Chains A and B, each alone.
Chain A
């Protein structure tokens, strides 16, 4: 006889009947139970906090029978907190996660597959590059809740000063421009090379542009140490070690540092995403800059990153939890969120919103969606990500050649992947 479980079930049943009654006729106020509480973790602070607090209030006025209780958790603690909470079964009902963690959580058996809540029309409205990141092992484990691509931000005045008509369109031009811009404490490119996932994010577009890939199609082996991968890393390393077109501090440069260098006359180009617009407007409103697509190697490619909203398996009130997820991700709120956070629209119905398209710089990043690719979704990705950023750093530091560094990482990745099968 397991009393607590029985009680929980009873409570859940009562809550659901209450919910159903509430949906069927809002006028019938004699619902048998009080409001249902859905515990939500939202990663992030600042804009996240403002937006989601307001959203929860509006949701509650529309659904008085559901109380959404939000805890805000800083992004850099989110991964650790969510995984450890999920492992001990003490997680929230609904959480935002950084996309990369979804497969990990799903493999732990911590997530509720969402397929049964979805209609084809619902899923078809999502941009493909965003939607595919929610798929693992034949199920949908999350709903996109934030989507970005990156592009090349460049100083238009610096470009004119070195006599260039247009931003670099291919690798050779990129290298030439970077070298020419490098003079008198100015550098061409602010390369992100510290030991974090940001380093991987910034290099991976180069790998894809050169025709390389992260893993083999069957996802059993590393593929980034192919000829194409080695060349792509060599190109990166040469910018730093040979051409010195990158500030010497590259190995301790985080993405935020690269923003600062671009804002304060140190770097003429940086590769980043739409969230940078508001920072420029706030800190250097007169900065003369524009955005171009990433320079094309053998092909055009950019990295798309997608945040997800997921439901945990332990959620007691799944219908209520889904209602919140559905509310957060509906076309209107998705679009409002993209605008607030500086993301790009991830609902097809929002792609032509003049709020986004009338800004040519924003338009570049929206168009980049066509060449956007996502990281492979698999539980081991965060570990692979770490090994890759290590390899990039080791090569940039000159401790190993690009080939050696990538081969070492590939060997470890192969071991991890073999271990998990």
Chain B
């Protein structure tokens, strides 16, 4: 009797060792591309390191962090990042939900519509942003041509603070909406039809069905899609960089474009490392706030 038990224990150890062996390549890869850069950035953030002045490299402890907290440019960039991210993700969730509800209808050619709907997401963001830069061009852009054709005066889209911010948010929504819609559509299709049918039999109107039946069941999807979108938008470098370069006069400068400037125009890698660490902290905070909000609203609905 003891023999087989010993055998199982042996196999148990064996399987866990095996599992670990199988995981090793993945762990090594993760360590190489995630853990090492992260630790290296942390280490960098505690140093004075300007590439063009290697003679001044030194360990400075928290000095870069103190500088970041009093740097008015960083404060402005953080504010713009929040406006940009909250505006873009909020509208993406709202319009994504609308789009998902529309696309969820079973009709002829729905597959085609869904595929076409995905197009903006398939265009490389640099290409898309370059095209949008021309669309918003003050003199040659089609946006102003269309406005003027219906009698609205031309808008200096990328040359003024507010409209430049609107423009980058619009383009970010244009690009991010398909993925958001796709994820929400998948979520919608996972909702058991019985719950909706039951609500219909109970006499719930379409709007009531949406708020009381569909939305509560969409919570896990919203958490997942929203978090992904939040992180993606927060780091939406290409669109802002190509469209406005952070201008005019820093009006659309977000944290990631600021980091780019610090790192690759001033070659201040130490300070850029500090800012990168702060971005990680800020993203974590934003996502946890978003998730908590959703969880709380979920509890309310259930109550």
- Which residues of A come within 8 Å of B, CB atoms? 79-80, 83-84, 87, 104-105, 107-109, 193-196, 247-253, 257, 260-261, 264, 266, 379, 382-383, 386, 390, 393-394, 396-397, 399, 420
Contacts and interface: CB of A to CB of B under 8 A. Distances in A.
Contact of B139 (A107, A251, A261, A383): A261
Contacts of B139: 247, 249, 260-261, 264, 266
Given A382-B265, A383-B265, A390 B52 contact: no
Given A248-B159, A249-B158, A252-B248, A386 B52 contact: no
A396 B156 CA distance: 14
A109 B54 contact: yes
A420 B268 CA distance: 13
Contacts of A386: 261, 265-266
Contact of A249 (B52, B156, B161): B156
Given A249-B139, A252-B138, A386-B261, A83 B245 contact: no
B158 A195 contact: no
A399 to B, nearest CB: 6
A75 B183 CA distance: 39
B248 A393 contact: yes
B28 to A, nearest CB: 23
24 contacts: A79-B264, A79-B265, A83-B52, A83-B267, A107-B53, A108-B51, A108-B52, A193-B248, A194-B247, A194-B248, A248-B154, A248-B156, A248-B159, A249-B159, A251-B159, A251-B248, A251-B249, A252-B159, A379-B53, A386-B261, A393-B249, A394-B250, A397-B248, A399-B249
A87 B246 contact: no
Given A252-B244, A261-B139, A84 B51 contact: yes
B137 interface: yes
B53 A420 contact: yes
Contact of A383 (B140, B159, B266): B266
Contacts of A108: 51-54
Nearest to A400: B249
Contacts of B156: 248-249
Given A83-B267, A420-B53, A249 B137 contact: yes
A260 B266 contact: no
Contacts of A390: 249-250
B83 to A, nearest CB: 17
Interface in B210-264: 244-251, 261, 264
Task: List the 4 closest pairs (A to B, CB-CB), nearest first.
Answer: A249-B138, A251-B248, A252-B158, A195-B247
B68 to A, nearest CB: 16
Nearest to B264: A80
A257 B138 CA distance: 10
Nearest to B245: A195
Nearest to A385: B265
A170 B102 CA distance: 64
B244 to A, nearest CB: 7
Contacts of B246: 195
Contacts of A248: 138, 154, 156, 159
Contacts of A266: 139
Helix, strand, loop or mixed for chain B's interface? loop
Contacts of A251: 158-160, 247-249
Interface of B: 51-54, 137-140, 154, 156-161, 164, 244-251, 261, 264-267
A313 to B, nearest CB: 12
A327 B121 CA distance: 49
Given A195-B245, A383-B265, A397 B51 contact: no
B72 to A, nearest CB: 10
Given A247-B139, A249-B156, A261-B139, A393 B54 contact: no
A250 B264 contact: no
Nearest to B261: A386
A257 to B, nearest CB: 8
For B51, B248, B261, the residue with the greatest tally of chain A CB atoms inside 10 Å of its CB is B248
Contacts of A394: 249-250
Contacts of B247: 194-195, 251-252, 393
Contacts of A264: 139-140
Nearest to B246: A195
A367 B20 CA distance: 75
A87 B160 CA distance: 38
B224 to A, nearest CB: 35
B245 A107 contact: no
Contacts of A420: 53
Nearest to B243: A252
A222 B140 CA distance: 38
Contacts of A261: 139
B282 to A, nearest CB: 24
A194 B243 CA distance: 11
Contacts of B140: 260, 264
Contacts of A253: 159
Nearest to B139: A266
Nearest to B263: A80
Nearest to A108: B52
Contacts of A195: 245-250
Contacts of B261: 386
Nearest to A387: B266
A127 B266 CA distance: 30
Contacts of A260: 139-140
Contacts of B158: 249, 251-252
Given A249-B139, A264-B140, A194 B245 contact: yes
A204 to B, nearest CB: 18
Contacts of B53: 107-108, 379, 420
Given A252-B158, A266-B139, A196 B265 contact: no
B75 to A, nearest CB: 15
A261 B138 CA distance: 11
A108 B245 CA distance: 28
Nearest to B156: A248
Nearest to B144: A249
A331 to B, nearest CB: 33
B171 to A, nearest CB: 14
Contacts of A257: 137
Contact of A87 (B51, B154, B248, B251): B51
A412 to B, nearest CB: 10
Contacts of B51: 83-84, 87, 108
A379 B139 CA distance: 38
A16 to B, nearest CB: 29
